[in-house]
């Protein structure tokens, strides 16, 4: 792990990864903090190169390399885009889902990982409901592991594709990105911050590029302790919108509420992004949402489908970013170290 990680890593919202005596694989992407700011810039540039590359040449890059997708939670965007990304580079992929594999019979994460390695997998893309699972899988298999979302902890490739989307809108044509690239940009993340790995990875990434991040939501879903370096809490959604160039809406994660009672009518009155609210307070802001969106809950259909929405651009950007991340996973060792 990166011992020079910023202090926000150690807030209760971003617990440190399990201590381990062994060096992590240089191709792994477990946290956005595995990447230096220069490494982020290189990945963004590579994503663009790969997106523009001739498909017939591109699919020689990882020809016949074997990548396993190991998914313990449902996914549409992440799973599909990783699979398309790997295949676009010529790799063979196999999907192991917890609902149709021996995981259902009680096989552990470690044994599943070792089995995939024995079958020839050279990298594993893991989505798991437990925070920290990718670190355990890497320790067990010593393969490059890509975190495709672990519990309430991190979703690094989502933050990278969100960054690419923001740059496309607010810094078009920018070449290299650095610590000042998003200076003057305020990104407001709204809703169920407590349970959101997407929020956490963005909170760890965007301030390192100069962005100011505002968090907005009710106390139940946004504890005071979430504030940190470059990250402020603004409970009044309209006030937050008035300061924002980007607004990132989040779904309430009903599957993680664990009995928490929320008054949904009150929630919608305070935090739903409506056309009226957007027009009144942030008529020029870019609207993001990692998906899945719940129309009529955190966002209205009109806003989701409206001209300020970049939600489907985020999905498209996922393929380019994940091509670069998958390529890094299988070539980083040969290139001599973690970026
Ligand atoms: N953004 C995201 O992680 O979506 P999926 O759950 O569909 O992969």
Q: What is the DSSP letter of 142?
A: -
Q: Is the CB–ligand 1 distance for residue 156 below 6 Å?
A: no
Question: Which contiguous run of DSSP H or E holds residue 126?
Answer: strand 123-128
Mutation probe of ligand 1 site: the residue of 157, 288, 290 with most atoms within 8 A of C-beta: 290
DSSP 234-287: ---HHHHHHT-SEEEE----GGG-TT----HHHHHHHH-B-HHHHHHH-TTPEE
Q: Is the CB–ligand 1 distance for residue 78 below 6 Å?
A: yes
Q: Alpha-carbon distance 293 to 193, whole Å?
A: 15
CA pseudo-torsion sign 35, 39, 45, 47: negative
Q: For every one of its 339 residues, what pLDDT tens digit does the chain have, with 9 covering 90 and above?
A: 343 444 444 444 555 555 555 568 999 999 999 999 999 999 999 999 999 999 999 999 999 999 999 999 999 999 999 999 999 999 999 999 998 899 999 999 999 999 999 999 999 999 999 999 999 999 999 999 999 999 999 999 999 999 999 999 999 988 899 999 999 999 999 999 999 999 999 999 999 999 999 999 999 999 999 998 889 999 999 999 999 999 999 999 877 777 777 889 999 999 999 999 999 999 999 999 999 999 999 999 999 999 999 999 999 999 999 999 999 999 987 555 555
For the entire predicted model, the pTM comes to: 0.92
Q: Is the CB–ligand 1 distance for residue 158 below 6 Å?
A: yes
In the prediction, which pLDDT does 335 show? 59
Q: Is the CB–ligand 1 distance for residue 149 below 6 Å?
A: yes
Quote the ligand 1 centre to 155 CA distance (angstroms): 9
* Six-digit token string for 165: 């989307």
Quote the ligand 1 centre to 287 CA distance (angstroms): 17
Q: Of how many residues is the chain composed?
A: 339
Q: Is the CB–ligand 1 distance for residue 181 below 6 Å?
A: no
| 275-283 long-range contacts, CB within 8 A, separation 24+ | 275/300, 275/302, 275/303, 275/306, 277/237, 277/238, 277/241, 278/241, 278/247, 278/303, 278/306, 278/308, 280/238, 281/238, 281/241, 281/242, 282/241, 282/242, 282/244, 282/247, 283/308
In the prediction, which pLDDT does 261 show? 79
Atom of ligand 1 nearest to the CA of 76: 7
Mutation probe of ligand 1 site: the residue of 149, 150, 158, 325 with most atoms within 8 A of C-beta: 149
Quote the ligand 1 centre to 334 CA distance (angstroms): 31
Half-sphere exposure of 176 (CA within 13 A, CB side): 7
């Amino acid at each position: 792990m990166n011992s020079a990680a910023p202090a926000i890593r150690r807030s209760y919202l971003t617990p440190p990864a399990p201590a381990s005596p062994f060096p992590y694989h240089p191709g792994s992407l477990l946290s956005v903090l595995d990447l230096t700011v220069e490494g982020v810039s290189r990945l963004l540039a590579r994503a663009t190169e790969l997106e523009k590359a001739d498909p017939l040449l591109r699919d020689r890059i990882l020809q016949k390399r074997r990548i396993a997708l190991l998914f313990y939670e449902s996914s549409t965007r992440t799973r599909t885009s990783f699979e398309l990304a790997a295949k676009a580079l010529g790799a063979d992929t196999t999907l192991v889902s917890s609902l149709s594999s021996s995981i259902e019979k009680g096989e552990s994460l470690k044994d599943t990982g070792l089995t995939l390695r024995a079958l020839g997998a050279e990298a594993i893309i893991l989505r798991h409901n437990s925070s920290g699972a990718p670190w355990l899988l890497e320790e067990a298999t010593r393969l490059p592991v890509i975190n495709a979302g672990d519990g309430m902890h991190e979703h690094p490739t989502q933050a990278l594709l969100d960054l690419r989307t923001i740059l496309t809108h607010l810094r078009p044509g920018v070449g290299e990105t650095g610590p000042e690239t998003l200076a003057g940009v305020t990104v407001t993340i709204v809703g169920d911050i407590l349970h959101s790995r997407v929020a956490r990875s963005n909170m760890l990434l965007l301030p390192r590029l100069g962005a100011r991040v505002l968090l907005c939501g009710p106390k139940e879903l946004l504890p005071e302790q979430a504030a940190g370096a470059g990250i402020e809490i603004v409970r009044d959604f309209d006030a937050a919108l008035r300061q924002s160039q980007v607004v990132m809406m989040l779904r309430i994660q009903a599957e993680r509420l664990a009995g928490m009672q929320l008054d949904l009518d009150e929630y919608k009155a305070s935090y739903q992004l409506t056309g009226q609210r957007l027009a009144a307070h942030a008529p020029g802001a870019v609207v993001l949402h990692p998906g899945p969106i719940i129309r009529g809950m955190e966002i209205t259909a009109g806003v989701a489908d409206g001209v300020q929405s970049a939600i489907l651009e985020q999905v498209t950007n996922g393929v380019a970013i994940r091509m670069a991340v998958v390529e890094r996973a299988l070539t980083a060792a040969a290139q001599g170290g973690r970026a």
